[in-house]
Amino acid sequence: MAMYYDANWTIKPMGQEQREQFGVVMPPRMGEGPLRNIVQVYGYCISAQCQDVQLAWAFLQELASPHTESGREWAKHNLAASRTVAEISGQQSDPLYSPFLKSLEDARQGAFDVSSLKLWRFWNNDVFQEWIFRESRINVEERLRRIAREYNDTP
């Protein structure tokens, strides 16, 4: 048995045959501490500059409703936005989606919450950008040689 750790969005492109070969587990607990998981959440919003707020609101209701065709289609490709959508879309009983939904019961804000932009700016600018620029100075052949050295099992 092997384990591949990824998020729920890797489920949607799987065909039924592939889905039957996978299972889902959550990360292990650290002692008696709370369940840990990485959940990236997106939200719906209407811009303050929106020219037709009622039309925008109608669109979001259509998209998020489990009672509309587009809402049911949206739920096939994304983690459900509510328990009702999860139930109607089948995600609640789906063995691959249900663990992700269950983990939301213990969800709380994390380090990359939008309100902590200082940390995000540090991560994005100081860490990520520096890593990209450092790596981009190395040509592709040198990168491949480094990878080969790291994974070469022969002495």
Predicted confidence pLDDT, tens digits, the chain (155 residues): 566 666 666 676 777 787 777 777 776 666 776 666 655 556 677 888 889 999 989 888 888 787 888 877 777 777 777 788 888 888 888 888 888 788 777 766 655 555 555 655 655 565 555 555 555 555 656 666 776 777 665 55
| Alpha-carbon span 132 to 115, nearest angstrom | 25
**Where would I find the H helices in the chain?**
16-19, 53-64, 69-77, 83-89, 98-103, 117-121, 130-136, 140-151
| Alpha-carbon span 27 to 5, nearest angstrom | 9
* Exposed/middle/buried for residue 46 (C-beta within 10 Å: 0-12, 13-18, 19+): middle
Candidates 44, 42, 43, 37; CA nearest to 107 is 37
Q: Write the DSSP symbol of residue 112.
A: T
Candidates 6, 37, 14, 16; CA nearest to 102 is 37
Extents of the domains making up the chain: 41-107, 110-155
